[in-house]
């Protein structure tokens, strides 16, 4: 059995209607002025943001709750720099990330920017790890997909530098993750499927990852089975609250794998697609998945067989079958796309290939020559 270490410093609260109680327990982190970083729109519409503000305002040690809701679906460095300026001017001492993965990633980056003396773009461009001066973060996800509430990464797009990359380090792990599946009840079907596929991709890739171990394998298996079953149930009935809860659970537990073993090539390759098209993270990943899973069969046959059996109940015998079954499952949940569907043209691919940077060795396919080019072209 492979040796491993496990880091899980974030305290988890999971359950319907648990937010007020959890924030009272975690109030030691919430002193002085507190900033909520959020995408805001639907959370305002359904009254969730106002409810959260009231809870914070009633905590004994909170002086003022500052709301920053100018975060887009692909959080921009320029937006976060604005949040950092406001938070610094208002002497904010803690950050609440409230929303999907974009809001939570933006909250993490804002906590880095306020708490550290270096300019924020240095963390993104130079891979500097944030220090312990990073403000405390509490993550409250409102979608079931990103797992960002338990990860130590914040994925940010820079319009100035034409890049999408991550700020990473233990300092941006949230102090607490408060997962209330009720927030997901109002999410439209399309977004539910996209974010749910993101959670499934995290489970699949953390199972395939070079850093994977017996503990992460256990989480991946549970998350793959749970997501596969409950995404199909939600396609049948979007108001199935038990299926919603199960998806929040799957997304949350696989966040542990994100923090400890990471992901594979589709996540790295999506960054370049996202910068070029400004499409969602999950959309870019889905466009790459059939071609990627086919090639994974060549280097990890038994693992791909496991994944496809857990997901579909079928025993596949080749990479081509893996691709066909993955595409069929994605078709059933309406997330099957190509890069062309996202607006990518053949002449764009050389640029995308150059933009895939960083350490890709967590994917066994990275050892194959021209693998990134091969997957991009085959996904068009």
Q: What is the pLDDT of residues 26-42, one digit of tens each?
A: 999 999 999 999 987 88
Contact (Cβ atoms closer than 8 angstroms) between residue 292 and residue 319: no
Q: How many CB atoms lie within 10 A of CB 21?
A: 13
pLDDT score of 121 more than 90: no
What is the predicted pLDDT for the residue at 162? 83
Q: What is the pLDDT of residues 217-241, one digit of tens each?
A: 999 999 999 999 999 999 999 999 9
Q: What is the pLDDT of residues 53-69, one digit of tens each?
A: 999 999 999 999 999 99
* Mean pLDDT along residues 272-293: 94
pLDDT score of 267 more than 80: yes
What is the predicted pLDDT for the residue at 37? 98
* Mean pLDDT along residues 258-268: 93
Q: How far is CA 258 from the centre of its chain?
A: 9
Q: What DSSP character marks residue 97? A: E
Contact (Cβ atoms closer than 8 angstroms) between residue 228 and residue 329: yes
Match 């997304």 to its residue by tokens: 251
Rounded Cα gap, residues 21 and 23, in angstroms:
6
pLDDT score of 132 more than 90: no
Q: Which domains does the chain have, with CATH numbers?
A: 11-183 (3.40.50.1970), 188-378 (1.20.1090.10)
Contact (Cβ atoms closer than 8 angstroms) between residue 19 and residue 55: yes
Instruction: Name the band, by pLDDT with cuts 50, 70 and 90, for residue 119.
Output: confident
What is the predicted pLDDT for the residue at 42? 86
Rounded Cα gap, residues 100 and 119, in angstroms:
25
């Amino acid at each position: 059995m492979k040796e491993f270490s496990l880091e899980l410093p974030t305290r988890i609260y999971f359950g319907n209607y648990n937010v007020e109680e959890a924030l009272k327990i975690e109030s030691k982190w919430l002193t002085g002025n507190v900033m909520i970083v959020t995408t805001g729109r639907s959370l305002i519409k359904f009254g969730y943001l106002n409810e959260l503000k009231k809870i914070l305002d009633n905590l004994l040690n909170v002086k003022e709750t500052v709301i920053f809701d100018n975060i887009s679906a692909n959080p921009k460095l320029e937006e976060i720099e604005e949040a950092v300026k406001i938070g610094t001017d208002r002497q904010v001492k803690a950050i609440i990330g409230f929303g999907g993965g974009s809001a939570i990633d933006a909250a993490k980056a804002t906590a880095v920017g306020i708490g550290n003396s270096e300019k924020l773009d240095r963390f993104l461009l130079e891979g500097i790890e944030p220090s312990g001066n990073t403000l405390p973060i509490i993550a409250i996800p409102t979608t079931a997909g990103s797992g960002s509430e338990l990860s130590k990464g914040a994925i940010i797009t820079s319009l100035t530098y034409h890049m999408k990359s991550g700020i990473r380090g233990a300092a941006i792990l949230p102090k607490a993750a408060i997962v209330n599946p009720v927030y997901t009840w109002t999410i439209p079907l399309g977004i539910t499927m996209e974010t749910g596929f993101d959670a499934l991709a995290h489970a699949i890739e953390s199972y395939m990852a070079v850093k994977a171990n017996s503990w992460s394998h256990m989480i991946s298996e549970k998350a793959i089975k749970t997501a596969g079953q409950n995404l199909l149930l939600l396609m049948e009935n979007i108001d199935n609250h038990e299926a919603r809860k199960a998806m929040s659970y799957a997304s949350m537990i696989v966040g542990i794998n994100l923090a400890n073993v990471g992901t594979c090539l589709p996540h790295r390759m999506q960054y370049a697609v996202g910068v070029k098209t400004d499409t969602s993270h999950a959309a870019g990943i889905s466009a790459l998945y059939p071609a990627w899973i086919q090639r994974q069969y060549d280097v990890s046959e038994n693992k791909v067989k496991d994944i496809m059996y857990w997901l579909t109940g079928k025993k596949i015998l080749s990479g081509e079958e893996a691709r066909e079954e993955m595409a069929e499952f994605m078709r059933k949940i309406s997330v099957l796309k190509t890069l062309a569907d996202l607006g990518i043209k053949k002449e764009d691919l050389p640029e995308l290939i150059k933009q895939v940077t960083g350490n890709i060795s967590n994917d066994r396919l990275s050892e194959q020559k021209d693998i990134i080019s091969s997957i991009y072209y085959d996904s068009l």
